[in-house]
Amino acid sequence: MASTFGDCSVLSAVVLLMSMCICFTQLLAFSVAEAIPSGFSVNLIHRDSPVSPLYNPLETRFDRLYSAYNRSISRINRFRPTTPKAVQSDIVPSGGEYFMEIFIGTPPFSVLGIADTGSDLTWVQCEPCEECYEQKPPLFDPRKSSTYKNVPCESNPCNALDSSDRVCDQEQNACKYNYSYGDRSFTKGNVALEKFTIGVSTRNPVSFPNLVFGCGHNNGGTFDDVGSGIVGLGGGPLSLVKQLGKSIRGKFSYCLAPTAAESNASSTIIFGTATESNINANAVSTHLVDKDPSTYYYLTLEAVSVGDERLAYGGSSLSPTEKGNIIIDSGTTLTFLESEFFNGLESAVEDAIGAKRVSDPKGLLSPCFEVETGKGIDLPIITVHFSGADVKLQPWNTFAQVQEDMVCLTIIPSNDIAIFGNLSQMDFLVRYDLEERTVSFTPTDCSNP
């Protein structure tokens, strides 16, 4: 079957830590280097790929699919649209799908963290450890790094944390962070500055001094034992991409390769302008919407088409579509759409396919359809209509074979926020321009380096 599928001096080339003053931009963008002419890239490791430390060869591809889908259900708790503080604290840390290797400190120390567009502060487990979850790789020891520095209280990076998430150690004048998550997981430690080296596995590694990160001395919960922490790629002031700022011209991109049990294809994240030559006539672009909390990347979804049938996503002639009504997130597998809208989408999909409808034995996905042996099944093209950008999804973006004789839609209803997940983003070059406030989509064979 084919579709189985302050008062500080101006920042120059490098952020300088001088005597008692740390200089940061008023916008807390923390630019740390000169603009890089062509940018740099890092491989992303999908947790279910054969090259992942979490890969279990005894699991079937169907087992891995359902595990990813269940992580999506858990992860949506972090996006619940209550108060900004509640959204921040409802994070389920085990929901990330991609690992990213970075090196921190001097000498460089390898860290494997979850690459997370839904988090800001990058943090890792650190020695000495008061309480830590089990981690197979060695923990980072800041005492062995010549470039490690604790951040003082009342500094800009400390104040960038929510007031309920920061504590001041008055005796040492050290800023500390304290994150608690929705599933009772937690991380606590020092807010610090350290040298980061990114892209070591590629031909063009780049180092940045004095990046802000969290050095966690007290951590616990449902974190994976191969991961050292989280690499924050969100829109808030302390995220990695916001700290790199002008050095990457506010641009980063990723290209997610379809996952398969037999595939060693790597996905890639690119920081900077290296992808400019790849933006072609097939690219479509939509605007980011500024909303609270600033961590998340909000887009405006106007409609969804199943084949030629277009279904308006909320709004009417009397009530226009709400701006910023969906979050794009690389760490969530499934796509979630508003429940009332989903009812119409489900009917349109069933009409377009015309095959026998069956039930998912796991009770997670719907609708599902029987695939008759030797006959296959015709699956429709689903197009998501963002404001200014029509993104045509292929069947592998929207359907999955969950059993040998069953195919299911990988879009599910949500009573909370809508999320455009990573299955829908595979085989697209997804490019974020945080200066122009846009996200663009270019159809791309992401399995081809």
What is the full DSSP assignment across 221-241? Answer: SS--TT--EEEE-SSSTTSHH
Residue 116 appears among annotated catalytic residues: yes
Among residues 48, 116, 120, 165, the one annotated as catalytic is: 116
Instruction: Tell which wins on pLDDT, 14 or 42.
Output: 42
Least confident residue range of 172-186, 258-272, 380-394, 407-421: 258-272
Domains 17-267 and 280-443 share a fold: yes
> Mean pLDDT, to the nearest integer, of 190-217?
89
pTM of the model: 0.82
Q: In the predicted model, is pLDDT for residue 15 greater than 50?
A: no
pLDDT the model gives residue 263: 53
281, two tokens: 């006539």
pLDDT the model gives residue 359: 94
Domain 280-443 class, CATH top level: mainly beta
Distance (Å, whole) CA 28 – CA 14: 15
Least confident residue range of 84-93, 199-208, 230-239, 321-330: 84-93
Q: Residue written as tokens 């122009």? A: 436
Q: Where are the domains of the chain?
A: 17-267, 280-443
Q: What would the DSSP string read from start to end of 315-353? A: --SSSPPPTT-EEE-TT--SEEEEHHHHHHHHHHHHHHH
What is the widest separation between alpha-carbon atoms in the chain? 73
Mean pLDDT, the chain, whole residue set: 80
For Cα atoms 378, 344, 363, give the angle at the middle one, nearest 5 degrees: 70
Instruction: Tell which wins on pLDDT, 58 or 153.
Output: 153
pLDDT tens digits, 101-145: 899 999 999 998 888 888 899 999 999 999 998 888 899 999 999
pLDDT band at 14 (very low <50, low <70, confident <90, very high): very low
Distance (Å, whole) CA 305 – CA 119: 31
pLDDT tens digits, 277-333: 555 678 999 999 999 989 999 999 999 999 999 999 975 555 678 999 999 998 888
List the CATH code of the domain at 17-267. Answer: 2.40.70.10
pLDDT band at 68 (very low <50, low <70, confident <90, very high): low
Q: In the predicted model, is pLDDT for residue 358 greater than 90?
A: yes
Q: In the predicted model, is pLDDT for residue 76 greater than 70?
A: no
79, two tokens: 């996006």
pLDDT band at 95 (very low <50, low <70, confident <90, very high): very low
pLDDT band at 180 (very low <50, low <70, confident <90, very high): confident
Q: Three-state SS for 424?
A: helix
Among residues 120, 165, 224, 329, the one annotated as catalytic is: 329
Q: In the predicted model, is pLDDT for residue 12 greater than 80?
A: no
436, two tokens: 């122009």
